[in-house]
Amino acid sequence: MFHLFKTHLWRSKVRAFSIHFGCSLAIALLAALLVFGFWYPYPFREISGGRELFLLIVGVDVVLGPLITLAVFNPSKSRREKILDFSLIGLLQTGALVYGLWAVALARPVHVVFEYDRLRVVHAVDIPAELLDRAPVDLQSLPLTGPTYLSLRPMQASEQQDMMTAAFGGLWLSARPELWQPYAAASPEILQAGQPVAELMQRFPSQQQAILNAVSGTGRPIEGLIYLPVVARKDAFWTAVLDRQDAKVLAYLPIDSF
């Protein structure tokens, strides 16, 4: 008799766990559409580490709730006790998911900025909130649908010392809103800083096929393309492929071209 009760108990627990896990997974998939469809479009889920951060936070959340359900569920509990259990578990899981999404949103890439001789990916967390009102009016709200392209205006002589000192302290020039300007405003400087993609193939012969695939995807001849190094967080270095005519970024490669 005890054996039958124990078997029934565990079957009920596993069923409750499975239902809860399925619901949690469905919510996680919806969260993934938000994160990877808007905040971290490709290739920024790779460049900015969004995929790892999301999987860590949501993975823990998806497993945590169902495991608690597995531990506490008992079919012999009253309806009131079951509702209380599921309410507490739901609150805990929802709080963890909201906090996780907030952390992912705070770390999202908001701008790709031409920083005089390179492109730098700037994340929301990189920009001091108290400096945002110094940005041009149309740039004072950080985008929620993937990074936009900007460039930096030339620094004035009176700004250089303070800004370079702050940069050595970790506040990159690209994270200074008062320096932002439209990407196209620096097109001549971007084109001058870029190097021919053909040279990139010579520097990285083992990556020739990946480079050729990127070139093919642009629809431009290789002679019409240049490249710039891209800097992101955690010393992640990529390479951007640009149109030689208008400096538009056409592709990214996971190559450190510094």
Highest mean pLDDT among 45-54, 58-67, 166-175, 239-248: 239-248
Residue where the block lists tokens 């205006």: 153
Instruction: Tell me what percent of the residues of the chain surpass a pLDDT of 70.
Output: 96
Q: Is the pLDDT of residue 88 over 60?
A: yes
pTM: predicted TM-score of the whole model, two decimal places = 0.85
- Quick one: DSSP state of residue 76? T
C-beta separation of 36 from 55 below 8 A: no
The least confident of 2-16, 170-184, 205-219 is 2-16
- pLDDT tens across 95-110, in order? 888 888 898 899 899 9
Residue 7: pLDDT band by 50, 70, 90 thresholds?
A: low
Q: What is the SS3 assignment for 88-145?
A: HHHHHHHHHHHHHHHHHHHCCEEEEEECCCCEEEEEHHHCCHHHHHHCCHHHCCCCCC
Question: What pLDDT is attached to residue 72?
Answer: 82
Each domain of the chain, given as residue ranges in start order, spans 1-107, 113-190, 194-257
Chain-wide mean pLDDT for the chain? 87
Beta strands in the chain (DSSP E): 109-114, 119-123, 148-152, 180-182, 195-196, 225-231, 237-243, 249-253
Q: Is the pLDDT of residue 2 over 60?
A: no
Nearest to 179 by CA among 131, 126, 240: 131
Partnered with residue 113 across adjacent β-strands are 120, 150
Q: Is the pLDDT of residue 201 over 50?
A: yes
Question: What pLDDT is attached to residue 5?
Answer: 46
